[in-house]
Structure 1
Amino acid sequence: MTHKKIWILIKAFLVIAGIVFSIRIIFTFVPYKKLEQFKKRQHSTKFLDRNGGVIYIAPLDNGLRREYMKIKDIPITIKRIFIKAEDKRFFQHWGFDLIAISRSFFQNLVYKRTTSGASTITMQLSRLISPHPKTVKGKIAEIFNAFRLECKLSKNEILELWFNSIPYGYNAEGVATASKTFYGANLNELSIPQVLSLAVIPRSPVKYNPITNVVESKKAIKKLAYSLRMKINDIDIDNSLNSTNKYQYFNNAPHFVNFIQKNSNLSGEIKTSLDLKLQNFTNNRLNKYVEKNIESRITNGAVLVIKNQTGEIFCYLGSRDFLNKEYSGEIDGVHILRQPGSTLKPYLYAYAFENGFLPNDILPDIPTEFGNEKIYIPLNFNNRFNGPIRIRVALASSLNIPAVYIATKLGVKNFTQKLINWGFDSLKGKEDFIGSGIAIGDGEVSLYETTRAFSSFPRNGNLPNLTYLQKNEPYIEGKNIINEETASLICNILSDKKSRILGFGNSKLFDTSFEAMFKTGTSNQFNNIWAFGATTDFTVGVWMGDFAGNTIIGRAGSSVPAMLVVDVLKYLSEIKKPDDFKISKKLKQIDICSLSGKIPQDFCPHKTKEYVFLDSNIQKCDYHKLQNDKVVISLPDIYKKWVKSSHNVELFDTENNKYPEIISPNNNSVFYYDSSVSADSQAVKIEITNKNKNEMLTINVNGNFYKKLSSPFKFFFPIKRGKFNIEVIGNGGIDNIDLTVK
């Protein structure tokens, strides 16, 4: 060949190369709308826990599952086998393989039927992106579009799209989904015969389905292995096919997944904040406690666990079993609204501390009527009255009357607004309908709201924004609700074992090897029992009861959810022991009189220590006095009736007390006559206290003699409409009250 001819060939080659290169450049920038639409296709949302465990793989709207896996995460063995089986010159061609096309043309011509399709991986992908009829024209379009793909995408991008789009039937697309669908395994867990099986199924999804057609599937695997020169024996194939198992896409946290889907449009792979090990541990414990108390009508429960520093949700149980229809398992107990019982008291006292009250201040735990004509008389859980009570003890022991008392002092609307600001959105619009009973659960809130709010105490008064996504930050700022010293006081009080003895006795339930704070509550109808606990690291909230609202019977109370709270905190502490709650530097510790809460006199018999604000000015105790070298107790007048009714007259007697005295009802009380009820069934209970238990007292009504009365000085006065003056006369004096019946 002459130099001239060689030069002509070189020129021709360069011209052709230039044309091809120009075409590639053009196709690189010319829009391919169908490709862009294809890349935006919806894929199955894969919910992962914080450690990478699969929570759930959600189907698309049509029931199809199409998981997406990046090419770098697909095992190299799978990539090699699939490429050799489908397109061994994949990395050498530009979308179409001329050698394979020529071979296929002559084979089909000789056998007068289609024996080989010659479609490259890129051509298969182009067919998925732009479907076409199986005609010569369609094949040409397929080749053209394959070339366009090669112009616009790298080889790895093509492989990634193809591996995630291969149709397998059985509502499965992509190798990651197929691996689970047919073998119940992840790609990296597949054997070689199983990989070969996945490579041949797309050629005929019905014929080569290893679940429904084992014989044909085995033949196809052996044939493919032979063509790839892979040594594989029948035993290995049989063992692999025997392990076929239609994957059950079980949802390990259905309420949590529903919560995410309801509040976001996230898709693809979602790394959530949930800890599946903790979730499963908590679910097992919840089932244990519910089963143990099923006869008490505790049929369900809900749990929320929050990491304090970040607001991440570590555990989310909406019910004990989502699939249990008998007990309405599909209801999400984390978000339903229920009466919270005493669980709102920490927020009430925190609000009080920010409005001039101190933990050493004294509140009256005595029979008290709240309201005007609508009289409300709360009782403590144990039906006892304890007289003057320090706020620390009132909160730690969860006493009702002091809580209602302080709510009325602060203003019910003011406190309700504070709760709304604290994240209790369920109370919005109800401010005008909530009474002083809000202090002990008169209102409906959710476990989500209350657990979130409770976590603000170990967060130094900062309310977190809860998140279902994993965060890698040490602390995420929220919303400042209360100041640091107030939060510190609440943590200290609710972790104070001694101060809760009055309300809960010497129970060992809350005895933990680490410092933790707790609060429990039971609604007034005994159909909702709650418990909350927190360390410096985590906050746990538990609700138990019955979704139908049935009253809990028997001895089951808030100790049942409290046991679960303790179990969860102990589980978490074994992973990392939490730090103790720190006392704010804006607090100081002082000595106080245990009875008055004030600076003790030298003769005060009992003293204790208390934290107060740095600028607090505490007065000296005036509850104890020296009379004739004897220490006597002199309580404020508000406690007189309680002293007398408690039969401790001798102990608390001072020169100001008078006897006899009517202690119930209050003077100027108003009652209503119910005409629908028999007159014989309507009466007012009159209670009188008198120092001399052996004396006979005279009772007059409207100035006329009514009866003689002996100890215990109680009687029922039948009522009718009108005004009445009840008078009692004894050796020590006279007392009277006015009543009105409408």
Structure 2
Amino acid sequence: MSSTKKKLLIALSAVAVLAAALRLSPVPGLKDFLDCRYSIPLYSAQNELIAVLPLEDGLRRQHLSVEDLSRDQISTVLQSEDRRFYFHPGFDLLSLIRATWQYARSGEIQSGGSTITMQLSGLMEPDRQGIPGKIYEIFNSLRLELRLSKGEILELYLNHLPFGSNVEGLQSAARYFLGKEAGELNREEILVLMMIPRRPEDFNPLKNPAANRDAVERTIPRIKGDISSEYLDRIYGGLENRDTAWPSSYNHFTNMVREKLTEEQWRRGAPLYTTLDQEMQKGAESYLRDILEQTDKNRISNGAVLVIDNRTGGILSYIGSADFHNDELNGQIDGVRILRQPGSTLKPFLYGKAIESGFGPSTPLPDIPMEFGSREIYIPENYNERYNGPVRLSVALGSSLNVPAVYLLERVGVMPFLEKLVNAGFDSLSNSENLGVGLALGNGEVSLWELVQGFSLFNREGNFIPLRFDNDRPVPEGRSVYRSEVARLIRAILSDNRNRILGFGRNNPLEVGFDAAFKTGTSNQFNNIWALGSTDDLTVGVWMGNFSGDTVIGSPGSSYPAQIVVSLLRDFHKADAFSGADNFIHRQICPLSGDLAGPHCPYSIDQFFPVDQVPGSCSWHTADGTVLPAEYGRWASIYHQDFLIAPTAEGVKISQPGDGALFYLDPTLPDDSQAIAVRILGRYEVSLYINDIEVTRQQAPFTWFEKVKRGALVLRAEGGGEIDRATVIVK
């Protein structure tokens, strides 16, 4: 081998080794650029831009793919910045020589010698300045060219160009300075924008349009083809009237979306098409604003609204407060997601659990003075401070009576009910074992999000699906919370105005001309007032109150939020009737006992039943008169009701607590101040034993309050030769 060939081989080997070293050596800053986050544009269900989510420091940097730009647009960029981009290895020797010569002659920089690749290197490591920095850029550009394709380099460059004003990248710059998408830019607009990164403050067209135009005019000679002065005049003349750069009409919604985005979504920066319906959102905002004008006398200053699509769980309207920008009213607090006491709005879930446990729609429930053991004897009252005696289950739920609800919760158990609520999406109650029977009346704290999400399952055959905001993602898989017949029964009860008459009167605002289920609620002192409503296709929830904690004046009830719910359902529901067959059968029943009407019942009403829950004939109305069960004796005496009271069928019965009941001590209260109410029914004088110790002997019926400690309580009642037993556990 000749010496010349050897030298050539050595040179080629050296070049190959150098190329391999350059390719394999890490490029400082490249990984950060490749893995960086991008601002995410959000679009409504009508495909209108509603927000461009900023990054943590407020920076807007939207992702732009070079495939979204036309050849003419790319050509304009390259002619402006690096016309031999596709032909050099990262640095342009001719441009460097020209720039050096011009600088040597004039002592001033007259043209840049940096290629797009070198500029990208400079963006990755902005601290390297002067001639050493330029040399490093050349070296680094070689490494970039060996690592990335020309298209990848150009895309990274266009996405990280600094435009000042907390804006990076051509896409965000087009939106901020011209109110356009990058793909919509003409050649003149691209030139206007490409001048800014050279000197962002000096060439900002909004602040210094003349300087920007001067830079454009000096660049035009390098651009092939015509650049229209008329177009440039239009651009500079229209800057003040450009579209809003960053829409911000739905701040609570967009903040919620921001918190739920994944890291992968931030890194892709792809547009997100949401489920938000702008027409429905505007309607909800208008109705909330109108109602709040009426509530000033009650010192109610704020509200939140959530509307969803029952089929998909998609969020259609989301209002976290009446005015996001009102600091005096704490407008930035999100009323959809903060936790508040829900009042009676949890009752549908309790009654669903009771129906699963064997109660029927006409089962009579006691609406009578009742006592439940705790630190102080818990005596629930109805909001109207009236007791109605025996009330059918459907009426007790429809009229939102308190005592029957607490009675039911004591029967089904707090823990089984809590488990049902958590399964229905009430995650805020997942560690609330110590709430006690007050849970029936809403002494826990939940969010409007959870209430609407849960209430919608009654229009979905009892199936739960989580709420969603991303229209491009499939509907999430659900899970069964209630049997379909139970969900349909709750829906039917809450949509029948006859069930509401006892509590709300015949002409209440929830009487509408289409199938719709409603539930309202208030917390103590009316500080939180709620309304829920659903048709076949929509569920609406409204909360009203004050974020400040100011007490409400008067007793406004839930009519205010109910008006918003009704208005939205009237305007936007599509289905007048509930879908799916109810598979109920109708029978004439006695309105007092809830059983099938018998020969002695003075009148009857129509009642629907699941096929397997039809009761027997009425035994309360007899030839001798109306005979109520023994538990109603005290109520009949207090309220002077002319009824006969039946003796207890059993000689001795422990009617409360139920055998196997589970109780939890409240950790916030002293153990020795908590008690369980033991209710004894019977015809005899009865001895009550607890853990084989006689604690009292009285004439039945009576109630004994037993102070408790953790462990098992074995109850035994003896009288007249009869015995009844029950065992409860206290944790």
TM-score band (shorter)?
0.7 to 0.9
The separation in 1 between residues aligned to 2:373 and 2:579, in whole angstroms, is 39
1:174 match: 169
SS in 2 for 1:567: helix
How far residue 622 of structure 1 moved from its aligned partner, in angstroms, is 1.6
Q: Which of 327, 330, 350 is the matching residue for 1:328? A: 330
Q: How far does residue 620 in structure 1 lie from its aligned partner after superposition?
A: 0.8
1:44 to 39, 44, 57: 39
Contact 1:533 1:541 in 2 (8 A): yes
Q: Distance in 2 between matches of 1:442 and 1:114?
A: 73
**Cα distance in structure 1, aligned partners of 2:72 and 2:451:** 51
Instruction: Please give the alpha-carbon distance, in whole angstroms, between the structure 1 residues aligned to 2:275 and 2:646.
Output: 66
Q: CA deviation at 1:519?
A: 0.5
1:288 aligned residue (287, 290, 293): 290
Structure 1 residues 72 and 512: CA distance shift in structure 2, 3 A: farther
Per the alignment, residue 403 of structure 2 pairs with 401
- Residue 235 of structure 1 deviates from its aligned partner by 5.3
Please state whether the residue corresponding to 1:115 is helix, strand or coil: coil
Distance 1:622 1:372, change over 3 A: farther
After superposition, the Cα gap between the structure-2 partners of 1:381 and 1:189, relative to the gap in structure 1 and judged at 3 Å, is farther
Alignment of 1:379-528 (within 5 A): 379-432=381-434, 434-473=435-474, 475-507=475-507, 509-512=509-512, 514-528=514-528
Match in the other structure for 2:150: 155
- Taking a change above 3 Å as real, the CA distance of residues 91 and 606 of structure 1, as seen in their structure-2 partners, is farther
Identity of aligned residues (%): 40
Structure 1 residues 588-636: Cα deviation after superposition (integer angstroms, max 9, x where no partner): 5444333322122255443344343443362111233346xxxx54333
Q: 2:526·2:556 contact (CA, 8 Å) conserved in 1?
A: no
Contact 1:341-1:442 at 8 Å conserved across structures = yes
Distance 1:636 1:211, change over 3 A: same
Retained in 2: the 8 A contact 1:594–1:608? yes
Determine if contact 1:488/1:581 at 8 Å carries over to the other structure: no
Aligned residue pairs total: 642
Query: Is 1:252 the counterpart of 2:245 in the alignment?
Result: no
Summarize the Cα distance change of 1:123–1:407 in structure 2 as closer, same or farther, 3 Å threshold.
same
- Shift of residue 397, structure 1, vs aligned partner: 1.7
| Offset of residue 361 of structure 1 | 0.5
Residue range with higher mean Cα deviation, 461-470 or 20-29: 20-29
State the partner residue of 1:204: 199
- Superposition pairs for residues 543-554 of structure 1, below 5 Å? 543-554=543-554
1:410-434 per-residue CA deviation (whole Å, 9 max, x = no partner) reads 33454345434544343455433x3
Q: Give distance in 1, aligned partners of 2:162 and 2:260.
A: 31
1:646-689 alpha-carbon deviations (Å, 9 max, x no partner)? 5663xx57999xxxxxxxxxxxxxxxxxxxxxxxxxxxxxxxxx
Q: Which residue identity lines up with residue 144 of structure 1 in the other structure?
A: F
Segment drifting more, 18-27 vs 336-345: 18-27
Aligned to 2:590: 593
| C-alpha separation in 1, matches of 2:384 and 2:509 | 18
Q: Distance in 1 between matches of 2:346 and 2:704?
A: 35
Aligned 8 A contact 2:363 2:594 in 1: yes
Q: Secondary structure at the match of 2:216?
A: helix
- Partner in structure 2 of residue 93 of structure 1: 88
Instruction: Find the counterpart in structure 1 of residue 715 from structure 2.
Output: none
Hey, what does 1:622 align to over in structure 2?
619
Supply the distance in 2 between the matched residues of 1:53 and 1:538 (Cα, whole angstroms). 22
Of 328, 342, 345, which aligns to 1:343?
345
Deviation at 1:399, TM superposition (A): 1.8
Aligned to 2:566: 566
> Are 1:636 and 2:637 an aligned pair?
no
CA separation of 1:25 and 1:605: change in aligned 2, threshold 3 A = farther
Say whether the 8 Å CA contact 2:40–2:272 is kept in structure 1. no
Give how far 1:172 is off: 1.8
Are the aligned partners of 1:370 and 1:377 in contact in 2 as well (CA < 8 Å)? Answer: yes
Q: Name the amino acid aligned to 1:452.
A: Q
Q: Deviations over 1:404-456 (max 9, x none)?
A: 22223333454345434544343455433x34332222333222222222122
Is the Cα contact below 8 Å between 2:371 and 2:379 reproduced in 1?
yes
TM-score by length of 2: 0.78
Letter in 2 for 1:596: S
- CA spacing shift, 1:299–1:103, aligned 2, 3 Å: same
Alpha-carbon shift at residue 17 of structure 1 (Å): 9.7
8 Å CA contact 1:310–1:471 kept in 2: the answer is no
- Asked if the contact 2:28/2:125 (under 8 Å) is kept, the reply is no
Q: Deviations over 1:532-581 (max 9, x none)?
A: 122333322211011223333356321211122223334442xx547614
Task: Point out the more displaced range, 40-49 or 288-297.
Answer: 40-49
Quickly say closer, same or farther: Cα 1:123–1:412, change in 2 above 3 A.
closer
Tell whether the 8 Å contact from 1:194 to 1:241 is kept in structure 2 after alignment.
Answer: no
Alpha-carbon shift at residue 495 of structure 1 (Å) = 1.6
**What is the aligned partner in structure 2 of residue 582 from structure 1?**
580
C-alpha contact 1:302 1:543 (8 A) present in aligned 2: yes
Kindly provide the CA deviation profile for residues 241-292 of structure 1, in whole angstroms up to 9, marking residues without a partner as x.
2333596645433334444454555323462644051334323332222233
Alpha-carbon distance in 2 for matches of 1:507, 1:90: 77
**Partner secondary structure for residue 308 of structure 2:** strand
Q: Do the aligned partners of 2:276 and 2:469 also contact (CA within 8 Å) in 1?
A: no
Secondary structure of the 1:457 match is helix
TM-score scaled by structure 1?
0.77
Q: How does 1:237-276 map to 2 (within 5 A)?
A: 237-245=232-240, 249-262=246-259, 265-266=262-263, 267=266, 268-269=269-270, 271=272, 273-275=274-276
8 Å CA contact 2:628–2:644 kept in 1: the answer is no
Shift of 1:513: 5.2
CA distance 1:548–1:111, shift in 2 (3 Å): closer
Q: 1:64 aligns with which of 50, 59, 63?
A: 59
The answer for the alignment partner of 2:361 in structure 1 is: 359
SS of the counterpart of 2:444?
A: coil
CA separation of 1:444 and 1:109: change in aligned 2, threshold 3 A? closer
Q: Distance in 2 between matches of 1:281 and 1:192?
A: 41
DSSP 3-state at the match of 1:540: strand
Aligned-partner Cα distance in 1 for 2:621–2:564: 44
Secondary structure at 1:533's aligned position in 2?
A: strand
Root mean square deviation of aligned Cα: 3.8
Which letter maps to 1:625? T
1:126 pairs with 2:121: yes
Distance 1:296 1:145 in 2: 69
Bigger Cα Rg = 1
Structure 2 unpaired stretches of 5+: 648-700, 706-731
Q: CA deviation at 1:198?
A: 0.4
> Closer, same or farther in 2 for the Cα pair 1:637/1:258, shift >3 Å?
same
- The one of 107, 116, 119 equivalent to 2:111 is 116
- Separation of aligned partners in 1, 2:177 and 2:18: 43
- Given that residues 526 and 555 in structure 2 are in contact (C-alpha distance below 8 angstroms), is that contact kept between their aligned partners in structure 1? no
Q: Which runs of 5+ in 1 are unaligned?
A: 1-7, 657-735
Q: Which amino acid aligns with 1:621?
A: C
Distance 1:524 1:107, change over 3 A: closer
Q: Which residue does 1:195 correspond to in 2? A: 190
Shift of 1:468: 4.2
Q: Find the aligned partners of 1:739 and 1:52 in 2 and give their Cα distance.
A: 65
1:144 maps to which residue? 139
Secondary structure in 2 aligned to 1:594? coil
